[in-house]
Chain A
Amino acid sequence: MSEDATRTLGKGSQPPGPVPEGLIRIYSMRFCPYSHRTRLVLKAKDIRHEVVNINLRNKPEWYYTKHPFGHIPVLETSQCQLIYESVIACEYLDDAYPGRKLFPYDPYERARQKMLLELFCKVPDLTKECLVALRCGRECTDLKAALRQEFGNLEEILEYQNTTFFGGTCISMIDYLLWPWFERLDVYGILDCVSHTPALRLWISAMKWDPTVCALLMDKSIFQGFLNLYFQNNPNAFDFGLC
């Protein structure tokens, strides 16, 4: 069973107690791409952690003490320190925990990964807008064209570098930061947006072979079930697929 297969906490729930020594807690939601980034890093670095899933349509009052606007993901340490924004959380984990480093050591290579992340920055909103348009029966030709354009930029990088992954020959932080949106292309119904980007398609295949990505890969039918309930405004959407 996946580590994050727990029911969400909503309004009226009791706040969880302090984080036990030796653990870090992530406030999350099983289907959120931003949380997914941070869960990938937790897994890749083998960091002992506990997951508290939040009902995003019915947030607990106590959750606003963790994040002023109730966003996820948020990390909480056993010293009650809170870290948020997914990229900041990922970088914190890489800095704070020993073992496998996901960001390169070289300052220029680190800067390069951050510049690549900037290049990617329009993708999350565009994929979400496509999903919403499709689900609401609206046409989204322009949105898909814009998304193809963004993917074209990423394709150029891979072609220029002539490497499998965005950071080089091995998987690294930038690949994990981008991955969640590519995992969702199929279930969102926009897989054709990579039809013109062969290097990107190769990268997607290579990512699916990565043990960390594999361990967290979401079952397509469960994701579909979540999306169906979510777009029906069903507050139980976030717990879909749990026993």
Chain B
Amino acid sequence: MLEESARSLGKGSTPLGLVPEGLICICSMRFCPFAERTRLVLKAEGIRHEVIYTNLKDKPEWFFKKNPFSLMPVLENSQGQLIYESAITCEYLDEAYSGKKLLPDDPYEKACQKMVFELFSKVPSLVGSFLRTQNKEDGAGLKEALCKEFSKLEEVLINKKTTFFGGNSVSMIDYLIWPSFERLEAMKLNECVDHTPELKLWMAAMREDPTVSALLTVVKDWQGFTEVYLQPGGL
């Protein structure tokens, strides 16, 4: 299985050729939390795929043709069909490929996972804003807002009385929200889960999941990336 190739394509690179039969190609950036969702699902479902890394701040011209929003990740299958928006790509993979199903079959349980995802929806932008914030006051405000969002998720776990958000084993919703939590330590936001013990237990349980641990980014690598990314003209 071709995976995690170190190819990083920037301006002036040639466009991707046709994706071979039986393979799906994901266009990604190594540290992108949204792309990580899709890579978790690809890994968890054992789907043969190829990863093409693109440069976040210096996207090749062909990338804009492939994706009107010029966002990551983008999936391309061997029929040349493009799918984007991370949550949409994850659901597509679950439906299109046979084998391990990450979304429940039961319509209500599936709807519950989507409702939890909605509940989580403010977290990525709060974490992103915190990453970019320059002053302490804004940072403190963002931390407080993040704590509030985490409390909502804590309540879900308390009410469900299960380890994971979908029940007693890992499922789609856990993989969709994990990337934000993986980055808390590197961003010195660990204190935001101090008052949410169930969420802390969930994080520990997630780290034990084989798929999560296979894709885990070492803290210093992530910190190294953010230092370069935040420099003017970085990356």
Contact = CB atoms under 8 A, between A and B. Distances in A.
Contact of A96 (B81, B83, B108): B108
Interface in B90-143: 91-92, 95-96, 107-108, 110-111, 114-115, 118
B92 A108 contact: yes
Given A77-B108, A92-B107, A107-B96, A114 B88 contact: yes
B41 to A, nearest CB: 13
Interface in B34-63: none
Contacts of A111: 83, 88-89, 91-92
A38 to B, nearest CB: 12
Interface in A149-178: none
A88 B91 CA distance: 14
Nearest to A85: B118
Contact of B111 (A92, A107, A118): A92
Contacts, number: 53
Nearest to A110: B95
Given A111-B88, A115-B88, A88 B111 contact: yes
A115 B79 CA distance: 18
B86 to A, nearest CB: 11
Contacts of A118: 69, 85, 88
A115 B118 contact: no
A233 interface: no
Category for how many chain A residues contact B: 10 to 19
A186 interface: no
Interface string A104-146: 0001101100110010000000000000000000000000000
A126 B88 CA distance: 24
A83 interface: yes
A111 B92 CA distance: 6
A115 B83 contact: yes
B84 interface: yes
A92 B108 contact: yes
B115 A107 contact: no
Contact of A83 (B81, B88, B115): B115
B79 to A, nearest CB: 8
Contact of A115 (B85, B110, B114, B115): B85
A77 B118 CA distance: 21
Contacts of B111: 83, 88-89, 91-92, 95
A88 to B, nearest CB: 5
A33 to B, nearest CB: 18
3 nearest A-B pairs in the assembled complex, by CB-CB distance = A95-B107, A107-B95, A96-B107
28 contacts: A81-B108, A85-B114, A85-B115, A88-B111, A88-B114, A88-B115, A89-B111, A91-B114, A92-B111, A95-B110, A95-B111, A107-B92, A108-B83, A108-B92, A108-B96, A110-B91, A110-B92, A110-B95, A111-B83, A111-B88, A111-B89, A111-B92, A114-B85, A114-B88, A115-B84, A115-B85, A115-B88, A118-B88
Interface of A: 77, 81, 83-85, 88-89, 91-92, 95-96, 107-108, 110-111, 114-115, 118
Interface of B: 69, 77, 79, 81, 83-85, 88-89, 91-92, 95-96, 107-108, 110-111, 114-115, 118
Given A77-B108, A95-B111, 5 more contacts: A83-B115, A91-B111, A95-B107, A108-B92, A115-B84
